[in-house]
Structure 1
Amino acid sequence: MDKKKKRSITRGVILIVLVAAIAYTIYNTATKDKTELLKVGDEAPNFELVDLYDNNLKHRLSDYEGKGVFLNFWGTWCEPCKKEMPAMSNQYAIYKEQGVEVLAINISQTDFEVKKFIESLDVHFPVAIDSTKSVMTAYNVDLLPATILINPEGKVEKIITGEMNETQIASYMESIKPE
């Protein structure tokens, strides 16, 4: 076989492989499940997570119907999360009696790490661990801290990413307080 023929065959094989790869990519992209982004006004996805301190206590969003829910996603390694937790605890003490619930959802860390962190900050609101990241996925959370404000009707009122100060937290809790 001469060199020209070998080169033509090699080029043909490479071309076939490239076309197959492109076709596969297009097919895969077109048929994969599309995750809808959570938007303000959407119904907040229900979930169930076990309480950090009581394995018999389950936190379900549906259990908070009629209350405002301050849903905070965080990690122990996240400095802004650490800074805003005491302010959330202070405001929770004020707004809890006014129908606002806080649920702090840790993203997939161990019970030991999370308990140590929470106890070091002396915060007093419900905490759960999203060990499978299913709630994080349902709420399309990718940056921490992230807070989803849910009104008493169960609709997403606001989506906040990044650190909040105490004044902002108070204002957000006020905005989801039941009438």
Structure 2
Amino acid sequence: MFNVKQILIRAFYQEKKSMKLWFKLLGLLALVASISVAQAKNEPAPAFTLSDIYSGKKVSLSDYAGKVVYVDFWASWCGPCRKSFPAMEEIYQANKAKGFEVITVNLDDNAGLGKEFLKSFKVSFTNLYDDKKQTPSAYQVATMPSSFLIDKKGKIRLRHQGYKKSDKAKLDQAIKILLSE
């Protein structure tokens, strides 16, 4: 792959007076950085066992072996998280019969905040609570929401941070690809 840093330095010194070029190259660098964050390297998804937010029943990622799994980390105070839940439910309903699962992991200080948040939505997928807050570090969660699409072999194939409406179509397409593998 090309060395972005060398290209930027060379372009800057060759075109000192051309600020347009400089800004274009900075934009390119930002794009390359965002793509590297969004794409995973097919590493194994870290295992976890957490409690269902309602029943307290222990649920493990390994319970979903052989399925495509979307793991979403969220908190009740997160605005984009609120927008993502209806989309997750739609995608779940459209794909669950094909071997697709959604697992959300609430990271609030207490499960009551997560339960109150969930009252606003009619979701049928699995909602877990991480009382020890160890799972986010295993997944290197940096912002809310942070999502991970895991293939049938247990490898992370997509990492995603934040949520906007256009993400739903991209996610749906990625899920369809993984379900067909």
**Normalization by structure 1: what TM-score?**
0.73
Q: Report the CA distance between 1:68 and its aligned residue.
A: 0.5
1:89–1:124 Cα contact (<8 Å) kept: yes
Larger Rg: 1
The DSSP-based 3-state class of the residue aligned with 2:54 is coil
Unaligned runs of 5+ in 2: 1-38
Aligned-partner residue type, residue 74 of structure 1: W
1:88–1:169 Cα contact (<8 Å) kept: no
Unaligned runs of 5+ in 1: 1-37
Q: CA RMSD of the aligned region, Å?
A: 1.7
Q: Report the CA distance between 1:119 and its aligned residue.
A: 1.5
Aligned-partner residue type, residue 157 of structure 1: R
Q: 2:176 matched to 1:174?
A: yes
CA distance in 1: counterparts of 2:97 and 2:66, whole angstroms: 13
Q: Which residue of 2 aligns with 1:129?
A: 129
Q: Report the CA distance between 1:178 and its aligned residue.
A: 5.4
Q: Which residue of 2 aligns with 1:50?
A: 51
The DSSP-based 3-state class of the residue aligned with 2:84 is helix
1:106–1:127 Cα contact (<8 Å) kept: yes
Q: Which runs of 4 or more aligned residues in structure 1 lie more than 2 Å from their structure 2 counterparts after TM superposition? A: none
Aligned-partner residue type, residue 137 of structure 1: S
Identity of aligned residues (%): 33
Q: Report the CA distance between 1:48 and its aligned residue.
A: 0.2
Structure 1, residues 114-171: CA drift from partner, whole Å, max 9, x if none? 1111111222211011121111010010111110110000011011111043323322
- CA distance 1:164–1:152, change in 2 (3 Å): farther
Q: Which residue of 2 aligns with 1:115?
A: 115
Q: 2:148 matched to 1:148?
A: yes
The DSSP-based 3-state class of the residue aligned with 1:120 is coil
The DSSP-based 3-state class of the residue aligned with 1:140 is coil
Q: Report the CA distance between 1:65 and its aligned residue.
A: 0.8
2:84–2:163 Cα contact (<8 Å) kept: yes
2:76–2:108 Cα contact (<8 Å) kept: no
1:51–1:128 Cα contact (<8 Å) kept: yes
Q: Report the CA distance between 1:111 and its aligned residue.
A: 2.0
* Matched pairs, number: 141
